[in-house]
Chains A and B, each alone.
Chain A
Amino acid sequence: MDEAVLRAVVPQVIAILVRRGADFAAAEDAVQDALVEALRSWPDDPPRDPKSWLVTVAWRRFLDVVRSDAARQRRELAVEGEPQPGLAETADDTLRVFFHCAHPALTPTSAVALTLRAVAGLTTRQVAEAYLVPEATMAQRISRAKRTVSTESFDRPGDLATVRRVLYLVFNEGYTGDVDLAAEAIRLTRQLAALAQDPETDGLLALMLLHHARRPARTRADGSLVPLAEQDRTLWDSSLIEEGVALLQAALAQERRGELQLQAAVAALHADARTAEETDWVQIVQWYDELLALTGSPVVRLNRAVAVGEADGARTGLAALAEVDPGLPRHRAASAYLLEKAGDLPAAARTYAEAADLATSQAERTHLTKQAARLNAALR
């Protein structure tokens, strides 16, 4: 059985149940039950049409629950009998499932959890494992999220930007357990891009593809980080790069530029360089200028300072960095890099060590500690 095929239809099946009169929370529960049943029985007995199978089983499950509730409460059924044939969901219905799960009333953490279950079709256990929390905690997080959105209208059009933010968070989580969240985020963003027909969503997909293309080169077998300039570029996935660049060009051509398209443009310039030396830093700085004008983001200002250091020399980069909030997570690391490039090795070694203390991931901390160690050894 191809689990990906199964999971791809989950949001459509939820949309169908909602269209037939189920409320979102009950529909989502019923589909999750059907999904678990499918994972159990399909390997031996695969259905001809996975989607109708899921609709049938989920609908029956929904009716069972409604009937037992009704029996308990001694009241009449609100929903009647067998599914009406020929009632299909539309692209808009599926899109509403995306909007609902990323609803602005949810915190980012709960939006991510609900999206992974109801849109990505992961089981609660898989989501819990991916985020390294107990399954019971994740189950509570998801049911609270469903309660929060239960009072929100399912039919009101939502905001694509909130969905993109949720998918971006999922992508950044990478992979810790069996579930590759970066690959999941790409799969969902592909679905969203097909439904939304919107350049900024295409920009997000391009950004993800261009980053994902470099993943095989980004870490060594032992998990340690390889900086962009030292990556073996033959390991980059050229088909993902091609797809990302084509998507981005088509998006930019629509002249509705957004932050994600501009970030993807920077990633595309890196992908375009056959060696680190060939990188077109001057053009990268120009994209960062545009990004900064658009967002005013301090993180962009920081990345721009590093790019300026490459384009116009380390001293100019350090001058640009002096304008950036020193409290930013990677400020020290950027500063250490530019100091070494400027030839001030003792200061660079010191700053790398400080940066290691401020790192937010294990791999980053190890990498920065080794940079400090390398310079200290050279200075002895």
Chain B
Amino acid sequence: MPKYLLLKHYRGAPAGVNDVPMDQWTPEEVDDHIQYMDDFANRLRETGEFVDGQALAPEGMWVRHDGPGRPPAVDGPFAETKDLIAGWMVIDVDSKDRAIELAGELSAAPGHGGKPIHEWLEVRPFLQHHSETIE
């Protein structure tokens, strides 16, 4: 039914409560964090709500069309780490409330000191494909 994107990025939202960069965590804390993410995705597979989840490499580049017959222009990477998109999850749920509930759980992933990160996740509804809706 409605699909939502849970987007983990660093653009515009205030810092999370437990905002310590990952390289300052202990290795076990990193493992625990990843385990939490995997468990979360698996739980959604079992509830029949999981669609997709991907993590993105931090490095990237900017590409644009540069005129007919010319190769695309490539620029960057720009050093704007605050624009980084870390990854996303797509869920298919019954309601907006359920999407919010799940985003809240995902945001509780443990970080530094084993405490929840409380990071802000952006939650965006997908535009629907169909247009059958009874007027």
Q: Are B134 and A263 in contact (CB under 8 A)?
A: yes
| Contact between chains at A173 and B51 (CB < 8 Å) | no
Contact of A141 among B48, B125, B127 (CB under 8 A): B48
Interface string of A68-108 (1 = CB under 8 A from B): 00000000000000000000000000000000000000011
Judge if A332 is at the interface, Cβ distance under 8 Å: no
Bound state CA distance, A182 and B131, in angstroms?
11
Residues of chain A in range 128-143 having any CB-CB distance to chain B below 8 Å: 131-134, 136-142
Contact B94 A182 (CB under 8 A): no
Contact yes or no, A175 B135, CB < 8 A: no
Partner of B45, one of A140, A215, A267: A140
Contact of B1 (CB < 8 Å), options: A112, A140, A168, A267: A112
A219–B131 touching, CB < 8 Å: yes
Surface stretch bound by B, among A8-16, A39-47, A358-366, A372-380: A358-366
**In residues 81-135 of chain B, which contact A (Cβ within 8 Å)?**
92-94, 125, 127-135
What separation, in Å, do the CA atoms of A263 and B134 have in the docked complex? 9
On whether the beta carbons of A136 and B45 are closer than 8 Å, the reply is yes
The reply to whether A140 and B129 form a contact with Cβ atoms under 8 Å apart is: no
- Residue A172 lies at the interface, judged by CB distance under 8 Å to chain B: yes
**Is B24 located at the chain interface by the 8 A CB criterion?**
no
The answer on a CB contact under 8 Å between B1 and A134 is: no
CB-CB under 8 A from B32, the residues of chain A are: none
- B80: interface (CB < 8 Å): no
Which A residues are CB-close (under 8 A) to B3?
Answer: 132
CB contact under 8 A between A362 and B127, given known A134-B50, A174-B132, A303-B135: yes
Contact B131 A137 (CB under 8 A): no
Residue B47 CB within 8 A of the other chain: yes
B33-79: which residues lie under 8 A (CB-CB) from chain A?
45-52
Return B50 CB to nearest CB of chain A, in Å: 5
Chain B residues whose CB sits within 8 angstroms of the CB of A218 once the complex forms:
131
What is the CA–CA distance of A364 and B128 in the complex, to the nearest angstrom? 9
Residues of A within 8 A of B49 (CB): 137, 141
Q: How far is the CB of A207 from chain B (nearest CB, A)?
A: 7
Q: Measured between alpha carbons, how far is A228 from B125 in the docked complex, in Å? A: 27
Contact B127 A110, beta carbon cutoff 8 Å: no
Measured in the bound complex, the distance between the Cα atoms of B3 and A142 in whole Å is: 18
The chain A residue sitting closest to B125, CB to CB, is A360
Interface centre among B46, B93, B125, by most A CB within 10 Å? B46
Q: Is A292 an interface residue (CB 8 A)?
A: no
The 10 closest A-B CB pairs, nearest first, are A141-B48, A174-B132, A174-B130, A140-B48, A361-B128, A363-B131, A362-B127, A107-B94, A109-B94, A109-B1
Q: Which residues on B are within 8 Å of A, measured CB to CB? A: 1, 3, 45-52, 92-94, 125, 127-135
Residues of A in contact with B (beta carbons under 8 Å apart): 107-110, 112-113, 131-134, 136-142, 144, 168-169, 171-176, 182, 207, 211, 215, 218-219, 225, 228, 263, 267, 303, 359-365
